[in-house]
């Protein structure tokens, strides 16, 4: 039903077992999902991208059906660096030394760290609906905290958030995803069923919390060192965000202006007519922007 014509496999990296789908032909394009999703978040247009690109869609470690590894003493096994290393190794094992990549939400944060750590491997990067966490944590507002409350909830020490989130997992995930007037209407019901299945697994909930804890700790520390040293993302970037989502409404200055402090080669910065979930709520617009951006690249 999902990803017709794609091959599904599990690739063992040095850190985790990663669920991987691969399909299509042309230059390699890696798709990285956000929280609390899996590769299914790209299902509305990944097959269309596969007409021009070799599309690879994975489940990040801890998410979907990928392995839920222990977090480590400092949550380091869920740092964006560790999660990005999985993706580099997946692409290497598939035979791709250099590739395009698009990431949404947590996947976009993984992608930003990948660009910082090994820019030679990322030919072009599309960052969907985030601002850098370094800016975010240093510029919190009441509006942001009210809308994005889960950021500060999920970083609380184990196992306080895990117990509350798993007490009524279906209720929690529906409440989190239905923040706008559209509710869950733009999600594929079959995909929602899968997202609920993942979330009913306490190990998945714990991994998600470890991801957010790492973001507020080890990831923030890495970003602070980069920022203070003047290190920026120099990979060609496309920035997309939802005009009515938290990033679009609560970022001052605009997301594009914020990113200028963290990146040197922004090729495009655009708000789409949707909220946070671009690929679900505005699939046609998101597909068009991604297809045009990556088609202009130099990979054969």
Establish whether 105 is a catalytic residue: yes
- What is the chain's mean pLDDT, rounded? 96
Mean pLDDT of 16-41: 98
Please tell me the pTM assigned to this model: 0.98
* pLDDT at residue 181 tops 90: no
Strand partners, 128: 104, 240
Band (pLDDT 50/70/90 cuts) for residue 122 is very high
Pairwise CA distance, residues 60 & 67, whole Å = 9
* pLDDT score, position 103: 98
Band (pLDDT 50/70/90 cuts) for residue 180 is confident
DSSP letters of the chain?
Answer: --STT-EEEEEE-SS-EEEEEEEESSSEEEEE--TT--GGGGTTTHHHHTTTSEEEEEPPTTSTTS------TTSGGGSHHHHHHHHHHHHHHTT-SSEEEEEETHHHHHHHHHHHH-GGGEEEEEEES---HHHHHHS--HHHHHHTTHHHHHTSSTTHHHHHHHHSHHHHHHHHH--STTTTTTS-HHHHHHHHHHHTSHHHHHHHHHHHHHIIIIIHHHHHHHHHHT--B-S-EEEEEETTSHHHHH-SS-HHHHHTTTBS-EEEEEEESS-S-HHHHSHHHHHHHHHHHHHTSS--
Mean pLDDT of 60-68: 98
Band (pLDDT 50/70/90 cuts) for residue 1 is confident
* pLDDT at residue 300 tops 80: no
* pLDDT at residue 179 tops 90: no
Band (pLDDT 50/70/90 cuts) for residue 251 is confident
* pLDDT at residue 12 tops 90: yes
Establish whether 276 is a catalytic residue: yes
Quick one: what percent of the chain has pLDDT higher than 70?
100
Q: Which of 59, 105, 219, 223 is catalytic?
A: 105
Pairwise CA distance, residues 276 & 237, whole Å = 19
Tell me which of 144 and 38 has the higher pLDDT. 38
């Amino acid at each position: 039903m999902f990803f017709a014509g794609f091959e599904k496999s599990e690739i063992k990296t040095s850190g985790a077992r990663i669920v991987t789908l691969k399909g299509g032909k042309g230059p390699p394009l890696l798709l990285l999902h956000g929280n609390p999703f899996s590769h299914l978040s790209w299902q509305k247009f990944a097959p269309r991208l596969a007409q021009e690109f070799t599309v690879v869609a994975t489940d990040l470690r801890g998410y979907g059906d990928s392995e839920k590894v222990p977090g480590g003493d400092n949550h380091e096994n869920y740092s964006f660096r560790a999660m990005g290393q999985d993706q580099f190794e997946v692409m290497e094992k598939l035979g791709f030394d250099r590739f395009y990549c698009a990431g949404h939400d947590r996947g976009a944060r993984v992608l930003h760290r990948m660009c910082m750590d090994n820019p030679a491997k990322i030919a072009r990067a599309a960052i969907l609906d985030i601002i850098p966490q370094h800016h975010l944590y240093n510029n919190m507002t009441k509006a942001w905290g009210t809308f994005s409350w889960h950021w500060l909830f999920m970083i609380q020490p184990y196992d306080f958030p895990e117990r509350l989130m798993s007490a009524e997992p279906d209720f929690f995930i529906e409440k989190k995803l239905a923040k706008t007037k559209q509710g869950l209407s733009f999600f594929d019901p079959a995909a929602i069923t899968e997202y609920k299945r993942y979330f009913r697994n306490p190990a998945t909930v714990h991994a998600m919390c470890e991801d957010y804890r790492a973001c507020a700790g080890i990831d923030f520390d890495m970003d602070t060192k980069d920022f203070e040293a003047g290190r920026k993302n120099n990979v060609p970037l496309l920035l997309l965000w939802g005009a009515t989502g938290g990033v679009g409404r609560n970022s001052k200055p605009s997301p594009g202006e914020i990113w200028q402090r963290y990146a040197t080669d922004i090729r495009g910065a655009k708000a789409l007519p949707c909220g946070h979930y671009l690929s679900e709520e505005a699939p046609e617009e998101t597909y068009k922007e991604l297809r045009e951006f990556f088609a202009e690249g130099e990979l054969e």
